[in-house]
Chains A and B, each alone.
Chain A
Amino acid sequence: DARVTQTPRDKVTEMGQEVTMRCQPILGHNTVFWYRQTMMQGLELLAYFRNRAPLDDSGMPKDRFSAEMPDATLATLKIQPSEPRDSAVYFCASGLWGSDTQYFGPGTRLTVL
């Protein structure tokens, strides 16, 4: 049963600390997405990659957020320094270019105190 995995599932940190979230897309998927979900803003796309290349990161605060795909099996989202307003659930999703269906991971619940 192929699925997207994310680590950690929960993260509590203090303001100013660096946070790294990891995602393993479904093997063979060539498109990876990062979303953020909050009560106020709902689900927002932060960035996405195709064949490991960043295609769009316009939804991401550039000064503190960065997203990378070091290899085809790992995507990372980093926040440095973290702020309380970054508290949210961060989802990773993967898919195949052309199929349009996105498969979501379980999410990382981030709390910044």
Chain B
Amino acid sequence: GIQVEQSPPDLILQEGANSTLRCNFSDSVNNLQWFHQNPWGQLINLFYIPSGTKQNGRLSATTVATERYSLLYISSSQTTDSGVYFCAVERTRGGKLIFGQGTELSVKP
């Protein structure tokens, strides 16, 4: 099956710093999503981005489908950005997402 690798596994930032999280996947996909799991466990969908670039406030994401990777950019990080960021992919558009192991981000004040 398709493999999803996220890097780095852990990241510690000072408030205000920028960061880039990476997601590599082993096969072509028609569905790629980024999620944030906050420290209370709630999973929030950030982006649906099988290709191209999207921005939402301080967050943006880029997926280069031909090279099988996606990047999540966080600018001017805040303590509320702390948590685990997951990339999830699917070969077809049926809903069967495969999740990466996540990047745990900790933003210090």
Residues of A within 8 A of B (CB): 31, 33, 42-45, 48, 50, 55-56, 89, 91, 93, 95, 97-104, 106-107, 109
Contacts and interface: CB of A to CB of B under 8 A. Distances in A.
B94 interface: yes
B66 to A, nearest CB: 20
Nearest to A50: B95
Given A31-B95, A43-B86, A45-B97, A100 B42 contact: no
Nearest to B35: A104
B7 interface: no
Contact of A55 (B43, B86, B94, B102): B94
Contact of B97 (A89, A99, A102, A109): A102
A55 B94 CA distance: 9
12 contacts: A31-B95, A42-B100, A43-B86, A45-B97, A55-B94, A89-B41, A98-B93, A100-B48, A102-B95, A103-B45, A107-B43, A109-B41
Interface residues of B, number: 21
Nearest to B43: A104
B81 to A, nearest CB: 18
Contacts of A104: 35, 42-45
Contact of B96 (A56, A98, A101, A107): A56
A98 B30 CA distance: 12
Interface in B34-92: 35, 41-45, 48, 86, 88
B103 interface: no
B95 A33 contact: yes
Nearest to A99: B48
Contacts of B33: 100-102
Nearest to A9: B41
A43 B99 contact: yes
The 8 A-B residue pairs whose C-beta atoms are closest, nearest first, are A104-B43, A43-B99, A100-B48, A101-B48, A42-B101, A101-B45, A100-B31, A48-B95
Contacts of A48: 95-96
